[in-house]
């Protein structure tokens, strides 16, 4: 993929980790249609390239994402509803992107500074790991505008549970710091942006101690738990285990016996993860 053709994102690759930085600071990195389309391209890259190990989402200039683009909302409101309501269609397009992001077989990490509001909070909720500065704000602000968090609702509920999603959605509460951690919205806090870089580097180093192929098998398997017949799922899990054993498993076991690092191990420092 050509990194240079993006207008709304800064995209780069390091140690087979994709770093996608939302880069439209004049709108506080709002999720305008062009931004979402480019994010979908990055997700497609992670889906199709088996060497990709993870995706990191971040916002430029110390602000994660302000949610939907209010300017594009106005244009949509002026469109006439017909047999196929264009407002509903565009809204559902974002939901398709969210489904693909959530279903990525590689870990997705959100590094949140400033704020993650509305759809920005939904974006974070679709990630596997959320790191944030202690002063970063999170809110479902849609109802204060007379709207609803429609396409992000399943991902917010999946991460926070129904009661907390109701609390944040129906009351428009803003949370940050220890409260965000207590609610399960954030996995770990950093004191400031510099510390966030170091924290992200630590987590990526942990991630890269794990075999990339095994992670690509495990994440989809975990998503199936509780959704399918347990016996059939375990039958399939046994086949997946055997396939792993004959590939990366053999390499990992040999590395352990020989007391050397596995070939897939690599490390990150704070400088390597900065946008």
Q: Which are the catalytic amino acids?
A: 142
Listed in sequence order, the residues at least 6 apart from 237 whose beta carbon sits closer than 8 Å to its beta carbon are 221
Cβ burial, residue 69 (10 Å; 0-12/13-18/19+): buried
Please report, for the chain, how many H helices and E strands are present, in that order.
Answer: 12, 9
CA distance 43 to 64: 18
Q: Measure CA of the first residue to CA of the last residue in the chain; give whole Å.
A: 18
Q: Per the structure block, which two tokens stand in for 275?
A: 């946008």
The most distant pair of C-alpha atoms in the chain lies apart, rounded to whole Å, by: 68
Q: Per the structure block, which two tokens stand in for 4?
A: 């240079």
Q: Per the structure block, which two tokens stand in for 100?
A: 């693909």
Q: Residue with structure tokens 């062009």? A: 34
Asked if residue 21 lies in contact with residue 13, where contact means CB atoms within 8 angstroms, the answer is no
Q: Chain centroid to CA 153: how far? A: 15
């Amino acid at each position: 993929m050509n990194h240079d053709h993006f207008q709304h994102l800064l995209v780069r690759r390091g140690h087979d980790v994709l770093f996608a930085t939302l880069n439209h600071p004049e709108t506080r990195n709002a999720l305008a249609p062009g931004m979402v389309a480019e994010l979908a391209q990055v997700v497609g890259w992670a889906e199709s390239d088996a060497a990709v190990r993870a995706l990191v989402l971040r916002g430029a200039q110390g602000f994660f994402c302000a949610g939907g683009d209010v300017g594009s909302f106005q244009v949509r409101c002026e469109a006439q509803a017909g047999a196929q309501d264009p407002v509903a269609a565009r809204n559902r397009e974002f939901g398709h992107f969210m489904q693909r992001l959530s279903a990525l077989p590689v870990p997705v990490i959100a590094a949140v500074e400033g704020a993650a509001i509305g759809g920005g909070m939904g974006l974070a909720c679709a990630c596997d790991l959320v790191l944030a500065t202690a002063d970063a704000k999170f809110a479902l602000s849609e109802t204060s505008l007379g709207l609803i968090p429609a396409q992000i609702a399943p991902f917010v509920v999946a991460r926070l549970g129904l009661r907390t999603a109701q609390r944040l959605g129906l009351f428009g509460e803003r949370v940050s710091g220890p409260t965000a951690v207590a609610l399960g919205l954030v996995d770990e806090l950093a004191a400031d942006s510099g510390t966030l870089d170091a924290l992200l580097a630590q987590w990526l180093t942990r991630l890269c101690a794990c075999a990339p192929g095994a992670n690509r098998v495990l994440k989809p398997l975990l998503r199936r738990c509780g959704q399918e017949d347990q016996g059939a799922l375990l039958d399939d899990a046994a086949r997946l285990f055997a396939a792993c054993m004959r590939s990366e498993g053999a390499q990992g076991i040999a590395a352990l016996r020989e007391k050397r690092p596995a070939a897939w191990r690599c490390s990150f420092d704070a400088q390597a993860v900065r946008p």
